[in-house]
């Protein structure tokens, strides 16, 4: 016993970082990206306060994040190709690797062991060990010149230890099976449509849908029946209509499902599209304030919240999914970039870039209930994402 105490006394001064770590659960924690400063804030969702600021994460414009299974670590994908692993309980950057020239997002595998990162430059997907961030597999995209591969977008995790992504320049969807990490098995679907710009996977992991910038409609792959190939849905949408300019690409991350209907941002039209899942028939279009960027359902599906591209990014609209009408137009301020619901949906946190704050709204009253100072906030990611496929 004496020996133990003695060794503790000797070790103590060397374990300061550990000593400052919190002893608590992480279920109601989250991170908020500070896009201009290259830092993030670890926040306590219940206390509505900042726990730590973590710096040195590089260029975080358009950054996104996934969580380890135990929701202790966040993996942040930076614009500059940086992949960072952050310990939420200690507020520490555990490891950072610069894995590509220019990246756009990533995913964590079903078993939690692998992190995949999608790259614009050199184009392709790299897969790392979640534990060490060592490279496990490198999957270059279809070449478009002697130096460049197609940009890869819409990377998600799928069931049976797969990753799925789309290739912007060459119009493809690839499904990568990582059951044997040293030997990725790739199934390629070509000619899926022009310029897929982002994609989503349904929460049950069955439907992978790519939005197309270069033409109307969406490309859909049924992952229960990959042998049926990619089919086109909503391809009559927007035909013959002059498209409006798009000042920020919409996002398909997340899946706004309410009852049988999915809600999606239109491209080049100031509308939210309503599509019935299974039949994939259009049920309607809701006229909104601008080009939608994120169309996100409250977890119970009763409301859909929408933010918009420049020059309308100071507004958020709330749609009632039963009547398909707008029930509230909020004006949080310029640069309302991202929204994140608490997992049971009672509140939503909204990043307001130009006000340097995150605003918190009660989704029942649709009133603002609080705010937090955050430097040029963009993505907000709660740890509940750790347990959801595709997030």
Residues within the interface to other proteins (CB under 8 A): 35-36, 59, 61-62, 79-80, 102, 104, 120-121, 151, 153, 168, 195, 197, 213, 245-249, 310-311, 335, 353
CB nearer other proteins, residue 102 or residue 159: 102
The sheet that has 82-87: what strands, in order across it?
Answer: 64-67, 73-77, 82-87, 92-98
Residue positions counted in the chain: 391
- Smallest Cα–Cα separation from 118: which of 141, 136, 90? 141
CA atoms within 13 A on the CB side of 266: 28
End-to-end CA distance of the chain: 47
CB nearer other proteins, residue 299 or residue 333: 333
CB nearer other proteins, residue 36 or residue 372: 36
CB nearer other proteins, residue 79 or residue 285: 79
Distance in Å, CB of 248 to other proteins, minimum: 5
CB nearer other proteins, residue 71 or residue 350: 350
Distance in Å, CB of 31 to other proteins, minimum: 18
Distance in Å, CB of 1 to other proteins, minimum: 56
The SS3 assignment for 69 reads: coil
Buried b (16+ CB within 10 A) or exposed e, 47-73: eeebbbebeebbbbebbbbbbbeebbb
Distance in Å, CB of 79 to other proteins, minimum: 6
CB nearer other proteins, residue 152 or residue 303: 152
CB nearer other proteins, residue 87 or residue 216: 216
Q: What's the sign of the alpha-carbon dihedral 36, 132, 22, 2?
A: negative
CB nearer other proteins, residue 70 or residue 354: 354
Distance in Å, CB of 278 to other proteins, minimum: 31
Distance in Å, CB of 281 to other proteins, minimum: 28
Strand pairing of 162-167 and 172-177? antiparallel
CA 55 to mean position of chain CA atoms: 21
Distance in Å, CB of 241 to other proteins, minimum: 16
DSSP assignment of 107-168 equals: EE-TTS-EEEEEEEETTEEEEEETTT--EEEEEEPPBSSSS-B--EEEEEEETTTEEEEEET
The SS3 assignment for 315 reads: coil
Distance in Å, CB of 60 to other proteins, minimum: 8
């Amino acid at each position: 016993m004496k020996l133990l105490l003695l060794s503790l006394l000797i070790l103590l001064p060397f374990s300061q970082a550990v000593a400052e770590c919190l002893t608590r659960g992480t279920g109601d924690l989250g991170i908020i990206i500070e896009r201009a400063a290259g830092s993030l804030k670890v926040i306590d969702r219940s206390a509505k306060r900042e726990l730590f600021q973590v710096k040195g994460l590089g260029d975080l414009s358009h950054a996104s994040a996934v969580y380890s299974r135990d929701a202790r670590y966040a993996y942040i994908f930076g614009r500059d190709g940086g992949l960072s692993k952050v310990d939420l309980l200690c507020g520490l950057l555990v490891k950072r690797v610069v894995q590509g020239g220019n990246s756009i997002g990533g995913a964590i595998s079903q078993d939690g062991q692998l992190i995949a990162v999608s790259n614009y430059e050199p184009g392709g997907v790299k897969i790392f060990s979640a534990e060490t961030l060592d490279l496990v597999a490198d999957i270059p995209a279809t070449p478009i010149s002697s130096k460049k591969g197609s940009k890869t977008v819409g990377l998600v995790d799928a069931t049976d230890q797969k990753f799925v992504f789309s290739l912007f320049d060459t119009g493809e969807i690839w499904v990568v099976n990582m059951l044997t990490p040293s030997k990725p098995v790739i199934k390629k679907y070509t000619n899926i449509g022009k310029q897929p710009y982002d994609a989503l996977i349904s929460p049950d992991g069955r439907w992978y849908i790519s939005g197309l910038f270069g033409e109307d409609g969406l490309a859909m792959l049924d992952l229960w029946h990959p042998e049926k190939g990619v089919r086109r849905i909503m391809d009559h949408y927007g035909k013959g209509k002059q498209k409006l300019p798009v000042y920020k690409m919409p996002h398909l991350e997340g899946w706004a499902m309410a009852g049988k209907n999915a809600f999606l941002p239109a491209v080049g039209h100031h509308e939210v599209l309503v599509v019935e899942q299974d039949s994939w028939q259009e049920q309607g279009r809701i006229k909104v304030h601008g080009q939608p960027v994120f169309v996100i359902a409250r977890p119970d599906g009763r409301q859909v919240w929408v933010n918009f591209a420049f020059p309308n990014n100071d507004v958020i609209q709330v749609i009632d999914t039963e009547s398909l009408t707008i029930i509230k137009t909020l004006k949080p301020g310029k640069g309302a970039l991202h929204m994140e619901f608490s997992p049971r949906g009672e509140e939503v946190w909204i990043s307001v870039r130009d006000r340097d704050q995150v605003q918190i709204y009660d989704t029942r009253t649709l009133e603002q209930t609080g705010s937090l100072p955050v430097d040029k906030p963009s993505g907000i990611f709660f740890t509940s994402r750790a347990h959801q496929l595709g997030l």
